[in-house]
Structure 1
Amino acid sequence: MAAIQSLNRQILLKLLIASVMMFGFGYALVPMYKALCEVTGINVVTSKNAYGTRAYSANKVGNTQVDYSRTVTIEFDSNIRGPFTFKPVKNFLEVHPGEMTEIVYEVTNNLGRPVKAQAIPSYAPKSSTEFFTKLECFCFQEQTLAANEMKKMPVLFVIDAGMPKDVKTITLSYTFFELGVPQQPAGATTPKSKATL
């Protein structure tokens, strides 16, 4: 009897240790993911508060003056992972560094049930990421779409006037995916939507 109790205690201790280790690993995944995104420059997820703080600080030091001598072409791209039609209303815009600009993306839930979704942005070239400030974006929070609902979602942004002059084109790409469902394997093909002017 004593041997069984001792064995049960050992098993319980091992299970407790395994549970703590699994919780610790899950907790560590978030900063590891953010660090990986920063290193690779893809899927940059930033909160609205962080962008708002940066924009406010830039305004205080006068870095938001519009540079009318330069024009930067912003290309807009959209990708989907789920039952959506997702596209920008325009393929590109020409903007002056320092001026506030708005682009609208349209998304349609093609299912007869509500879905929750999230958009993840990425930028090319990678060096432009730190100069692309979003003041308002649908990517700041998850979106809930009713059955067959179509929604217009704005992005309000500014290109920092301090961006290197050799950067003449920036691509802003969003991947819009349904939350709570397994994603396709990396090798699987996914339809890609492109907007027309």
Structure 2
Amino acid sequence: MNAMSTPRLVIRLLAVVVVMFCFGVFVLPPFYDAMCRAFGINGKTAGVYEGTQQSDIGREVRVQFLATNAAGMVWEFAPKADELRVHPGQSSDMLFVAYNPTDKPMTAQAIPSVSPSKAAAFFHKTECFCFTQQVLQPGERIEMPVRFIVDRDLPKDVRHLTLSYTLFDITARKPPVAQAAP
């Protein structure tokens, strides 16, 4: 290799690195999200459901609820109950409780996940606190509802689902407005 080709090689390698970086940042995430939506991969739920179904009263599915905080989130966050037994097709409700123990207003966003992942496409939320960001004032406690339907077409071998939420502190990205004192 001569001295003249070394700068060209370095430029080409840097170009490859830039192209790979751009692919990873700009192309891969939308592709991944589309695949998750299409196949229910990674526990992403089927989203808002606006249809109705008749309940399959001959079948029962156990839905377990989990709540965790992301790193740095200081709120107390938990479901009112650990699990419900539901009939596919019936509308069901669960309340999650959040408490801000700090002395400042905070904004949070909950991200849901359903497992097993093959069941995620059959779990429909009709109302969920995860659809909006939650703002809590210092010392405030709220109950946040989730209303859902386990689809009648859920595969028969799935008898247990887990709906989990991870709560993220997004105060730095979306600062809350403090309430005025009365």
Residues 94-117 of structure 1: CA deviation (Å, up to 9, x unaligned): 000000000000000111100111
Amino acid at match of 1:123: V
Amino acid at match of 1:80: N
Residues 69-99 of structure 1: CA deviation (Å, up to 9, x unaligned): 0000000001012011000000000000000
Matched, 1:75 2:64: yes
Partner of 1:66: 55
SS of residue matched to 2:158: coil
Given that 2:99 and 2:140 are in contact with CA atoms closer than 8 Å, whether structure 1 keeps it comes out as yes
Q: Tell me, in whole angstroms, the C-alpha distance in 2 between the residues paired with 1:110 and 1:36.
A: 38
RMSD over aligned CA atoms reads: 2.7
TM-score (norm 2): 0.72
Q: Tell me, in whole angstroms, the C-alpha distance in 2 between the residues paired with 1:65 and 1:74.
A: 18
| 125 and 161 in structure 1: CA distance in 2 versus 1, 3 angstrom threshold | same
Matched, 1:51 2:38: no
Matched, 1:144 2:143: no
> Which of 90, 110, 118 does residue 127 from structure 1 map onto?
118
Q: Tell me, in whole angstroms, the C-alpha distance in 2 between the residues paired with 1:36 and 1:84.
A: 32
Q: Tell me, in whole angstroms, the C-alpha distance in 2 between the residues paired with 1:92 and 1:67.
A: 19
Q: Tell me, in whole angstroms, the C-alpha distance in 2 between the residues paired with 1:109 and 1:90.
A: 20
Segments of structure 2 that go 5 or more residues without pairing to the other structure are: 1-17, 174-182
SS of residue matched to 1:42: helix
Question: What percent of counterpart residues are identical?
Answer: 34
Partner of 1:34: 33
Give the length in aligned residue pairs.
151
Partner of 1:188: none
Partner of 1:5: none
SS of residue matched to 2:103: coil
Q: Report 1:1-197 matches (<5 A).
A: 31-32=30-31, 34-35=33-34, 37-38=36-37, 41-42=41-42, 44=44, 51-52=48-49, 55-56=50-51, 59=52, 64-81=53-70, 82-180=73-171
Deviation at 1:31, TM superposition (A): 1.9
TM-score (norm 1): 0.67
Q: Tell me, in whole angstroms, the C-alpha distance in 2 between the residues paired with 1:68 and 1:45.
A: 23
Amino acid at match of 2:30: P
Segments of structure 1 that go 5 or more residues without pairing to the other structure are: 1-17, 183-197
| 177 and 43 in structure 1: CA distance in 2 versus 1, 3 angstrom threshold | farther
Residues 118-173 of structure 1: CA deviation (Å, up to 9, x unaligned): 00001110011000000000001111111111010000000100111110000000
Residues 52-82 of structure 1: CA deviation (Å, up to 9, x unaligned): 4xx33xx3xxxx1100000000000010120
* Structure whose residues are more often helix by fraction: 1
Q: Tell me, in whole angstroms, the C-alpha distance in 2 between the residues paired with 1:40 and 1:165.
A: 17
